[in-house]
Structure 1
Amino acid sequence: MTQDQDSEGQRFRLPLLQGVLPVDRAGLTRDVLAGLTLAALAIPGTMGYTKIIGTPVITGLYTILIPMALFAIFGSSRHLSVGADSATAAVVAAGLAGMAVRGSNEWLALCSLLALMAGVLMFAARVLRLGFLADFLSRTVLVGFLTGVGVQVALLEVSGMLGLQRTSNDPLLEIVHDLRLIGESNAYAVCVSLAVLAVILG
């Protein structure tokens, strides 16, 4: 086998555990602590994303456990963040709107199909080395989009913080509804919400 053939074989060799090995025993305690911290933050977050996309809460756990396990095996970076995010949830929900009733079995089937299609396309992009396309995404557009998603999610959560029943997925309509029924707010829900905000904001 020639040197060119060796280099060609190494180029297309599937990387395994490159982001995990070698294990630094000296920093193992810090890694475990970092993992626990990430779990404490990411698990509630991914479960919250299910409200955006309209799937059962348990699917939020799937989106954090399965991708992380697979990335630990096949990934090659120790710094890349993988898993669900609010932007993806919002895009999926918007893309499937009108195709099925939100939260129905058909909706879940379409979400699963879309996830599989995205996985196939991502794998194809990896094989074709299309990562450079991300360089053409405008940072300004991404920041604006993510900010908008954050504002939308925050507005839709006001009803839950007040202990009121959500009646719409439109943030503006929901805020109007909350303002009309603010006198019927649940005092316990409001106190818990304020306590959580105090902890988050420090």
Structure 2
Amino acid sequence: TLSTLVGLKIDRSIEAILMKNLKLSIDRHLCRRTGDFYLFRRIVERRLARCLKGDIGKAEPFCVYAVEWSLEEDLPFDGRAIRITGKIDRIDYLLRTGEYLIIDYKTGQGRTNKRKIKSRLTKVEEVREHVASFQLPLYVYLFHKRTGVEVERIDARFLLLREGREEPLYEASDRTEMLSTYMDAVSVLLRHMFDPKEPIKRWDEEACQGCEFSDLCGP
């Protein structure tokens, strides 16, 4: 729905167009007519419509900068380059402030970000305790490296479709310091992964159940 609106200002003047495009997309992709599928379709339609209306109703005017943008960059680490890749669901450009907003859609109820992150994380156990997801920090890193946009002008958040709310990456105003903390935590994990003396063990049996590499981890 939004891919056709990249570069256009999003406000209430195009609400009817957005809602029409949403309905057309749902009709095209969810066209089965069985009873159970009809209920599923209605749930999807209501949740997506709620999110769209939330976007349209934002006080801050914006335009869609990019959707489903694939990025890859090298992350320097101990004299080597670690290739980092990702596909960002959506990037908005905030017209009033000149900032960029990275958005990742979430359909489930898994952990996203913890509320408090220590100013410095030095152990893998601390990383596990204070960081639930590196997805948004790495997206910010990739976008910053690709575009050269200052980190202070890049915001990021999860859009929780099931709950109809947003969960921001940053709580503090100093985004540069916060991103540095996250990237230091990434280095802690990489150092743990590349150290042959460090055992690979499962931290969370429930979370590991869906991982295709779980058999490689120790008990």
Question: How does the TM-score come out when normalised to structure 2?
Answer: 0.25
Which protein is richer in strand relative to its size? 2
Which protein is richer in helix relative to its size? 1
